[in-house]
């Protein structure tokens, strides 16, 4: 029988997701929990897993399509069943318990957010089965007596260079870059591992005159043929930047769309105040070098951000107001006796702010490990939606870009955000003399509804003192 799977809510009441890439094709046999697609929500890229074992009867959306939650995205042909089409996955079914709750399957699996977990006896994701019958560019025939849920629509498969009909192997950010630069990925040979097409491959093709993008792509719509890389345009010999088209439009969606809306809302809702403090962090930098040589930290990446995160958690003990939130509906200030520390991370899909849960309870080694894993996961596009929610305070390290200071905008729902500037050697008074010291500027923005000027200043001064004289942490 046919089973229609609707796009589920992938977290925090999100209303839509974009299909980045399909991992399967029509006609493929799939198993429970096998990854079907990479989808991008407003907060993260999520792997969508199969809730069923069976054959892919139909893919309802092409890559790049934004799908509303609850809309059909894939149909399965389930083995050993008959009787027409069943209700879409997520609606009432025989697996619902009598009280409306969720009932476990016979092998111990229970429904998860996007399907069913692995069987209880192994706890492992089943391996993907080999494809049956090639690339599956045509939908399998409908079983007799079964009516499709809606008229069949053609689902195109991107061309390839190897004749298999599969999409060229690359990552979603690289495919987006190729689309923006007008590079035909099917004409490229990947230099990455196992033939993966890398960002450098795309950039090299764009600089050297790659094949034009497929007709109808955004970079060619209404533009005609663009000039070859490094040459002027045909109209008057006007040269373009790096040989690219004069203008490229990119749809604002996914993470960037969410970030833009959140920042505008925050900037015009919370009354921001920003204060600056320049700190002599010479002793902290010396401590950092000693920590890195310590045997307990040989396998842990400890940075200035790690020490600043620890200082923030310690300083909050004296100024808990900086960790509160404003309840607009109840018109109340909510004190929070835990710190979910957000770390702003620049990724190919835009700014993301995942957070370390209960950072206040971690020692320095635990905090360093969590921060390293958090940033690596974010930059790889694997951050789960849950890691993006519930933050109470954020740190953004603009110093890695060579920036000294700024006026950071609050993450919505948080009372404060601290920007770390670059550490640079400059003349400074030390013990009554001018000496070259390692200096850093801290920029603290806070919500003036929650934090008074005295409280914000005290918190910033405490963080500065801990980074200036890390031995002060022994007194707390």
Asked if residue 197 belongs to a domain, the reply is yes
CATH no. for residue 234? 4.10.320.10
Asked if residue 407 belongs to a domain, the reply is yes
Q: 171 or 111, which is more confident?
A: 171
Tokens of residue 227, six digits: 């000039």
Asked if residue 148 belongs to a domain, the reply is no
Question: Distance (Å, rounded) from C-alpha 363 to C-alpha 306?
Answer: 11
Phi, psi (rounded to 5 degrees) for 311: -65, -40
Give the Å distances, CA to CA, from 6 to 89, 109, 268. Answer: 6, 20, 36
Q: What is the pLDDT of residue 149?
A: 41
Q: How confident is the model at residue 410 (pLDDT cuts 50, 70, 90)?
A: very high
Is the pLDDT at 457 greater than 90, yes or no? yes
CATH no. for residue 7? 2.40.50.100
Q: What is the pLDDT of residue 139?
A: 40
Q: Is 30 helix (H, G, I), strand (E, B) or coil?
A: strand
Is the pLDDT at 405 greater than 80, yes or no? yes
Is 290 found in the same domain as 438?
Answer: yes
CA–chain centroid gap for 252, Å, is 15
Q: What is the pLDDT of residue 42?
A: 65
How large is the average pLDDT for residues 85-102?
Answer: 43
Q: What is the pLDDT of residue 59?
A: 94
∠ CA 294-309-259 to the nearest 5 degrees? Answer: 135
Is 428 found in the same domain as 284?
Answer: yes
Is the pLDDT at 324 greater than 70, yes or no? yes
Sole residue written with tokens 């490990």: 369
Domain that holds residue 194: 172-243
**Chosen domain end from 116, 138, 158:** 116
Is 181 found in the same domain as 61?
Answer: no
Question: Distance (Å, rounded) from C-alpha 4 to C-alpha 77?
Answer: 9
Q: How confident is the model at residue 193 (pLDDT cuts 50, 70, 90)?
A: low
Is 297 found in the same domain as 196?
Answer: no
Q: What is the pLDDT of residue 172?
A: 61
Q: 246 or 47, which is more confident?
A: 47
CATH no. for residue 461? 3.30.559.10
Asked if residue 127 belongs to a domain, the reply is no
CA–chain centroid gap for 249, Å, is 22
Which sign, positive or negative, has the C-alpha torsion 382, 385, 388, 390?
A: negative
Question: Distance (Å, rounded) from C-alpha 238 to C-alpha 246?
Answer: 10
How large is the average pLDDT for residues 9-26?
Answer: 81
Q: What is the pLDDT of residue 76?
A: 92
Is 232 found in the same domain as 357?
Answer: no
35-69 residues labelled b (16+ CB within 10 A) or e (exposed): ebbbbbbbbbbbebbbbbbbbbbbbbbebeebbeb
pLDDT digits (tens, 9 = 90+) for 273-309: 999 999 999 999 999 999 999 998 988 899 999 999 9
* DSSP symbols for 311-346: HHHHHHTT-GGGG-EEETTTTEEE--SS--EEE-EE
Phi, psi (rounded to 5 degrees) for 312: -60, -45
Q: What is the pLDDT of residue 90?
A: 44
Q: Which of 2-6, 12-16, 158-162 has the highest mean pLDDT?
A: 2-6
Asked if residue 210 belongs to a domain, the reply is yes
3-state helix vs strand vs coil in the chain, percent to 5? 25, 25, 50
Q: What is the pLDDT of residue 194?
A: 67
This prediction's pTM: 0.56
Is the pLDDT at 20 greater than 90, yes or no? no
Is the pLDDT at 146 greater than 70, yes or no? no
**Chosen domain end from 224, 243, 262:** 243
Asked if residue 316 belongs to a domain, the reply is yes
Is 82 found in the same domain as 198?
Answer: no
Is 270 found in the same domain as 176?
Answer: no
Q: How confident is the model at residue 122 (pLDDT cuts 50, 70, 90)?
A: very low
Asked if residue 312 belongs to a domain, the reply is yes
Is 207 found in the same domain as 112?
Answer: no
Is 190 found in the same domain as 263?
Answer: no
Check if the beta carbon of residue 155 is closer than 8 Å to that of residue 75: no
Q: What is the pLDDT of residue 240?
A: 57
Q: Is 386 exposed, middle or buried (0-12, 13-18, 19+ CB in 10 A)?
A: middle
**Annotated catalytic residue: which of 60, 258, 430, 448?**
448
Give the Å distances, CA to CA, from 225 to 211, 222, 449. Answer: 11, 9, 55
Asked if residue 365 belongs to a domain, the reply is yes
Q: What is the pLDDT of residue 314?
A: 96
Is 260 found in the same domain as 227?
Answer: no
Is 258 found in the same domain as 230?
Answer: no
Is the pLDDT at 148 greater than 70, yes or no? no
The structural domain count of the chain equals 3
Annotated catalytic, 448? yes
Q: What is the pLDDT of residue 450?
A: 92
Range list of H helices, 184-316: 199-207, 254-267, 282-293, 304-316
User: Which has the minimum average pLDDT: 95-109, 236-250, 401-415?
Assistant: 95-109
Question: If phi over 0 gives left and psi between -120 and 50 gives alpha, with beta otherwise, what is residue 385?
Answer: alpha
Q: What is the pLDDT of residue 207?
A: 78
Question: Distance (Å, rounded) from C-alpha 286 to C-alpha 438?
Answer: 10
Q: For the chain, what is the largest distance between any 2 Cα atoms, rounded to a whole number of angstroms? A: 92
**Chosen domain end from 69, 87, 116:** 116
Is 330 found in the same domain as 204?
Answer: no
Q: What is the pLDDT of residue 82?
A: 54
Non-local (6+) Cβ contacts of 222 within 8 A are none
How large is the average pLDDT for residues 233-259?
Answer: 63
Is the pLDDT at 406 greater than 60, yes or no? yes
* DSSP symbols for 125-191: PPPPPPPSSTT--SPPPPPTT---SS----------SSSS-PPPS--HHHHHHHHHHT--GGG----
């Amino acid at each position: 029988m046919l089973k229609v799977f609707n796009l589920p809510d992938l977290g925090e009441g999100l209303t839509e997701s974009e299909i980045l890439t399909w991992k399967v094709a029509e006609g493929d046999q799939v198993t429970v929990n096998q990854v079907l697609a990479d989808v991008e929500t407003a907060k993260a890229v999520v792997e969508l897993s199969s809730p069923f074992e069976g054959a892919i009867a139909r893919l309802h959306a092409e890559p790049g399509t934004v799908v509303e939650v609850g809309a059909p995205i894939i149909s399965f042909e389930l083995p050993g069943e008959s009787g027409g089409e069943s209700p879409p996955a997520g609606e009432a079914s025989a697996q619902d318990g009598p009280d409306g709750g969720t009932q476990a399957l016979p092998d111990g699996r229970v429904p998860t957010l996007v399907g069913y977990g692995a069987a209880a006896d192994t706890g492992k994701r089943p391996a993907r089965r080999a494809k049956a019958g090639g690339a599956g560019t045509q939908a399998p025939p409908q079983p007799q007596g079964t009516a499709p849920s809606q008229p069949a629509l053609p689902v195109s498969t991107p061309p390839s260079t190897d004749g298999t009909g599969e999409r060229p192997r690359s990552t979603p950010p690289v495919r987006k870059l190729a689309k923006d630069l007008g590079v035909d990925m099917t004409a490229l040979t990947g230099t990455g591992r196992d033939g993966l097409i890398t960002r450098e491959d795309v950039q090299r093709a764009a600089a050297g005159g790659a094949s034009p993008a497929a007709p109808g792509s955004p970079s060619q719509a209404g533009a005609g043929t663009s000039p070859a890389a490094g040459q002027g345009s045909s109209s008057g010999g006007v040269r373009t930047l790096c040989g690219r088209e004069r203008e490229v439009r990119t749809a604002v969606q996914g993470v960037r769309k969410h970030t833009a809306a959140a920042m505008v809302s925050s900037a015009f809702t919370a009354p921001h105040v920003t204060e600056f403090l320049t700190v002599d962090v010479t002793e902290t930098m010396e401590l950092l070098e000693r920590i890195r040589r310590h045997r307990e930290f040989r396998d842990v990446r400890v940075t200035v951000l790690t020490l600043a995160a620890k200082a923030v958690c310690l300083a909050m003990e004296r100024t808990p107001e900086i960790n509160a939130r404003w309840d607009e509906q109840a018109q109340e200030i909510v004190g929070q006796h835990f710190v979910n520390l957000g770390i702003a991370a620049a990724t190919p899909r835009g700014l993301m702010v995942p957070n370390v849960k209960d950072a206040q309870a971690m020692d320095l080694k635990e905090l360093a490990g969590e921060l390293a894993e958090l940033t690596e996961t974010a930059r790889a596009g694997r951050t789960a939606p849950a890691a993006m929610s519930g933050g109470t305070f954020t740190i953004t390290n603009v110093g890695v870009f060579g920036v000294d200071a700024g006026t950071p905008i609050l993450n919505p729902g948080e009372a404060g955000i601290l920007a770390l500037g670059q550490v640079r050697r400059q003349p400074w008074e030390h013990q009554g003399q001018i000496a070259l010291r390692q200096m850093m500027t801290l920029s603290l923005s806070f919500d003036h509804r929650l934090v008074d000027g005295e409280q914000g200043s005290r918190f910033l001064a405490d963080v500065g003192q801990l980074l200036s004289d890390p031995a002060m942490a022994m007194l707390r």
